[in-house]
Amino acid sequence: MGAAALPFIIFTVFWGGVGGVLPFLVPKGPNRGVIQVILMLTGVCCWLFWLCCYVAQMNPLLGPKLERNTVLVMAREWGTSI
């Protein structure tokens, strides 16, 4: 199982639009610079958070911890010898 290209492209374009396109569409006003910075930081942080969550699913560091009795019961029920 590997990373699929389509979700990566879709989310990169979406958050790239939020952080790269929307700041240019902010109307002139006293807080324009602040709003532009907020949009840029939102795009970068949300994309990075999504990327970390997406990549962490490719090879999880932690797996299920089963007790010995549970493994023996599963093996018996599935007809597998250990």
57 vs 26, which has greater pLDDT?
Answer: 26
Sign of CA dihedral 53, 54, 57, 60: negative
CA distance 21 to 43: 10
Domain count, the chain: 1
The per-residue pLDDT for range 14-26, each reduced to its tens digit, is 999 999 999 999 9
- Specify the pLDDT at position 1: 55
- pLDDT bracket for residue 73 (50, 70, 90): very high
Query: Would you give the distance in Å from CA 32 to the centre of its chain?
Result: 30
Q: How many CB atoms lie within 10 A of CB 31?
A: 9
Asked whether the predicted pLDDT for residue 60 surpasses 80, the reply is no
The per-residue pLDDT for range 23-55, each reduced to its tens digit, is 999 999 999 999 999 999 999 999 999 999 998
Q: Which structural domain range is residue 71 located in?
A: 5-78
- Specify the pLDDT at position 2: 66
